[in-house]
Chain A
């Protein structure tokens, strides 16, 4: 599985993915890909998914919150095809997107859409997660659900 965006022009090295600082709550999200799962905090009392993760349910005020694996399927809420080469070696074009998970529309993940032609990406397109390990984190990426 390719680990870099589709390339149409470039000679230098693709810039490495920048990584977020993680904390006691966000660490699970960025590491559960090691087991091939996308993990999202969920209220154990009212079943509401809470993202970004915090052990407080904004619906029912429960503190009984725990990470749960979700299906990894989602739909594209919005996207942009980036053409600007912001850094030397950056391979363009590539797709930056916001994906809503199928379990709950207001859990939205920034991501890249991979393994397809950028111009084939559309609003509301079904996508599924996969992971790319970068250092000690597993970065969730998405590809069209129809990719085998």
Chain B
């Protein structure tokens, strides 16, 4: 067994609820849909699940950001668990996966159910979903240094970082727009995506500016939905029906200031050291990667990751994505092949894992990448948070 515990784990099943701009089901039922689908997909039953992990765990509010935690699904499915954790202070959304790897290595679980539920589409109809400012009270937590400055949404403080990147790199809006255009094209081939009508560069440029330089189509789409995956110990995974998708390497580091104002490098956020850690745990190199499912809460995160994973030079992403051909389905590095959060919906990095496995298992149908892809890089991002995984099909 390798010194790196992740190599002794594999993703054995995936599930996704219906994804919509307003569901007729509760958040918990959507979670049940995705989780049961993932368990069945792995060839398992509820009785085989002995661990549950989620990020960030249940939010006790009406924001829709994370309405279901580990307790909710454990009880709904009457799971008998040896280990569970819904842990917010982690390397972004993949913190749940990293925790699961540790639990498996420690002998506490062999099949961990991991899920991420969002209910922001419905929440938005009643209130300001996922606002960074809570009305009627003084603000605490990670964003409180922004509180008095009319910083109501992640889009605003992330634009501070995006603008720094634009200033330092010289990237042009026509280049940035290729991320959204490419993903909408991919979404047009994905029946589960929420926005499927292709957009043009004119559409991108003419859409309203949210906060300079961030435009409407640079932003992910709030949805109601849930993604679930099963991470299994390798010996158990070998009995599951699908080809092994091994977690080849992870990046979970925090070598920077973990602070939404003081983070060291605004234009790269926390990604470089996370990518460095991931590459240090594998013999594979960026040139070995067949496709990338990169975090796209905002398109600028995807652009950041292209550079920080080493697919192109620092500040070279503008040239890399120019015209969109390299990142297209038939390009040298297909990116966000299901439409990503920008078009398929804000499943918050787990949509990316679901799409990676969909492609690796050859289930992409009209959007299937040719040539039997084997190696996928995937990532999370946002301010001081970042996490990365390299997935390899054996």
Contacts and interface: CB of A to CB of B under 8 A. Distances in A.
Contacts of B139: 18-21
Contacts of B262: 51-52, 106, 108
A40 interface: no
A5 B150 contact: yes
Interface string A123-140: 100000000001001010
A60 to B, nearest CB: 18
Contacts of A21: 138-140, 144
B259 interface: yes
Interface stretch (B13-21, B31-39, B151-159, B329-337): B151-159
Given A80-B211, A84-B155, A17 B150 contact: yes
Interface string B174-217: 00000000000000000000000000000000001111111000
Contact of A82 (B138, B140, B156, B259): B156
Contacts of A84: 153, 155-156, 208, 210-211
A19 B156 CA distance: 17
Residue of A20, A82, A123 most packed against chain B (CB within 10 A): A82
B interface residue count range (under 10 / 10 to 19 / 20 to 34 / 35 or more) = 35 or more
B138 A20 contact: yes
Contacts of A86: 128, 131, 150, 152-153, 156
A67 B162 CA distance: 32
A63 interface: no
Interface string A98-132: 10000000101111100000000001000000000
Query: Chain A's interface: helix, strand, loop or mixed, by majority?
Result: strand
B261 interface: yes
Contacts of A44: none
Interface in A44-62: 51-52
A36 interface: no
Nearest to B144: A20
A78 B149 contact: no
B164 to A, nearest CB: 4
A interface residue count range (under 10 / 10 to 19 / 20 to 34 / 35 or more) = 35 or more
Interface in B213-268: 213-214, 259, 261-262, 266
B148 A83 contact: no
A84 B211 CA distance: 7
Nearest to A121: B212
A94 B163 contact: no
B145 to A, nearest CB: 5
A97 interface: yes
A147 to B, nearest CB: 19
A41 interface: no
A16 B140 CA distance: 17
Contacts of A83: 208-212
A81 B211 contact: yes
Nearest to A113: B149
A110 B261 contact: yes
Interface of A: 5, 15, 17-22, 51-52, 77-84, 86-87, 90, 94, 96-98, 106, 108-112, 123, 134, 137, 139
13 contacts: A5-B150, A17-B147, A19-B147, A20-B145, A80-B156, A80-B163, A80-B213, A83-B211, A87-B128, A96-B157, A96-B160, A112-B149, A112-B150
List 9 tightest A-B contacts by C-beta distance, closest first: A80-B159, A86-B152, A20-B144, A17-B148, A78-B164, A82-B211, A18-B147, A21-B140, A80-B211
